[in-house]
Structure 1
Amino acid sequence: MARLLVQNDDVVVRLSWREALLARRKGVRVPLAEVQEARVESDWWRAMRGAAERGKWRAERFCMGTWRHAGGVDFVAVRAPGPVAVVDLFPGGRFARLSVSTPDPEGAVQAVRLAAQRAREEGRPAAREVTGPSRSARRPLEKKDDTEGEERSTRSV
């Protein structure tokens, strides 16, 4: 069964060899700074969104791999029935969400929450933090005209 772990500054999804074959990847590693929220979803199907992109699935049994939807791509390693650990990520990364069936989803979610909170308290910035325009984009450049010796403002396009 898949495992959701926190290692150093990363959230790691480890798959068994069978799950890795079905998902077509060994696992997933995401920086803790990209974690927006972690929760337990009691119904496995509520953690799913979009349509399968890569991997394998069998209706009412399991879904392994990536699923594409309007908001991006999710990585899923879900077995029915049962609760699922769901980690929502900030926009701009490789994945928008990690959905994983683990032996102890409450414990895994609690570990991710605590590690993400600790990372924020230590002041580590979000990896994909969106910032405003740079100073040069907000203000025109100041150039000196060598022939006349006066300053004038120009805009580059």
Structure 2
Amino acid sequence: MVTLLLDSTQLEIVLSGAERVLAFHKGNVAIERSTIAKVQLTDDAWTWLRGFPSPGTHVRGVIAMGTWRSSAGDDFAIVRRHRPSVVIDLNGHPEYERIILTTRHGLQLVQALRLDVDTQAVDVVDLATGTIPVEPAPTKKKARKRKAPSPAPAT
């Protein structure tokens, strides 16, 4: 697993020695927070890969590490098996258009990246209706008395 370091100015993807070798990448990947356009969570990062690894390592369904080149731009991927992942779209980054990472901490990353947003998060119900519907508290129902079964007729 990659290690993600986040501060007020940048997100740094710290690669282990094995990840550096498989990704053909000499150092960590630093991303300025101002270049992050969108962050998405996905259950299957393989659907987000586009192009071909150059340089990088690709074993179908097992690992995809390195730079992926396509006509849409270069992406950086660290993908292992079919695990939860994060897709980070970038705008104005000098090297990459997208970062695709397999990580267990995707939700925490999304929440941490949203901390500096000026407006508070709005509930979807607020956006749709303007108010939050409140359900009345459940009331206890009276237990109904059941009739005792009548004895079977004697034959």
Question: Counterpart in 2 of 1:69?
Answer: 70
Larger Rg: 2
Deviation at 1:52, TM superposition (A): 1.0
User: 1:5-154 maps to which residues of 2 (within 5 A)?
Assistant: 5-25=5-25, 26-91=27-92, 93-114=94-115, 118=116
- Percent identity reads 30
Residue type of the alignment partner of 1:85: V
| Contact 2:86–2:103 (8 Å) recurs in 1 | yes
Task: Identify unmatched segments of 5+ residues in structure 1.
Answer: 122-157
> RMSD value over aligned CA atoms?
1.9
Alignment size in residue pairs? 118
Instruction: Identify, as 1 or 2, the structure richer in strand.
Output: 1
User: Normalized against structure 1, the TM-score is what?
Assistant: 0.68
Q: Distance in 2 between matches of 1:119 and 1:11?
A: 16
Q: Distance in 2 between matches of 1:101 and 1:50?
A: 18
Q: Distance in 2 between matches of 1:109 and 1:76?
A: 18
> For structure 1, which segment, 31-40 or 85-94, has the greater mean C-alpha deviation from structure 2 after superposition?
85-94
Query: CA offsets, 1:71-103, max 9 Å, x none?
Result: 110000111111111110014631000111113
Q: Distance in 1 between matches of 2:111 and 2:49?
A: 21
| Contact 1:33–1:120 (8 Å) recurs in 2 | no
Deviation at 1:19, TM superposition (A): 0.8
The one of the two structures with greater contact order (alpha-carbon pairs below 8 A, sep at least 6) is: 1
Q: Which runs of 4+ in 1 moved over 3 A?
A: none
Deviation at 1:105, TM superposition (A): 1.7
